[in-house]
């Protein structure tokens, strides 16, 4: 699922020659099957051990646009299963809440010089459009 909460974005996968818009209020999908793993491409000639598949925002979307990028790892099913086994479970990553300290002091007193009830002060305000 591809969606946006703010402005128009564009999911770009240049190595896969794919792009898909992310439009506020509209959910889109994109599906593809890579032909080669990341490891295979890293070993291709010319050899590039630092090879990664890139993902980025391909739409000038605002001041954070430059930071909207990352990498995609394509692995074999066996490599993926081994990677999954190495990952901690979600529940093991949750931090306990710890002790709750009581709130000290009292809430500040309301200002008595500016009451909300104008009937008590005799003040009338007229608003014109």
Note if the pTM is more than 0.75. no
Q: Which of 25-34, 57-66, 79-88 has the lowest mean pLDDT?
A: 57-66
- Domain spans, the chain: 9-90
Give 118's pLDDT tier (boundaries 50, 70, 90): low
Specify the 3-state DSSP secondary structure of 21: strand
| Residue 98: HSE in the Cβ half-sphere, 13 Å Cα cutoff | 3
Query: CA-to-CA distance for 19 and 29, rounded, in angstroms?
Result: 11
Where does 9-90 sit in CATH, by number?
2.60.40.420
Query: CA-to-CA distance for 62 and 24, rounded, in angstroms?
Result: 14
pLDDT tens-digit series, residues 66-110: 888 999 999 999 999 999 999 988 887 777 777 767 777 777 776
pLDDT tens-digit series, residues 12-26: 999 999 999 999 999
């Amino acid at each position: 699922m591809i969606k946006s909460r703010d402005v128009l974005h564009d999911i770009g996968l240049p190595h896969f020659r794919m792009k898909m818009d992310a439009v506020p209020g509209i959910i889109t999908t994109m599906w593809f099957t890579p032909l080669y793993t990341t490891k295979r491409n890293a070993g291709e000639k010319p050899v590039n051990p630092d090879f990664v598949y890139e993902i980025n925002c391909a739409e000038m979307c605002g001041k954070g646009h430059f930071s909207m990028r990352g990498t995609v790892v394509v692995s074999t099913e066996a490599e993926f299963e081994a990677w999954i086994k190495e990952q901690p479970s979600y529940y093991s990553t949750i931090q306990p809440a710890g002790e709750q300290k009581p709130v000290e002091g009292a809430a500040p007193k309301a200002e008595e010089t500016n009451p909300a009830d104008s009937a008590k002060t005799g003040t009338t305000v007229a608003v014109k459009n």
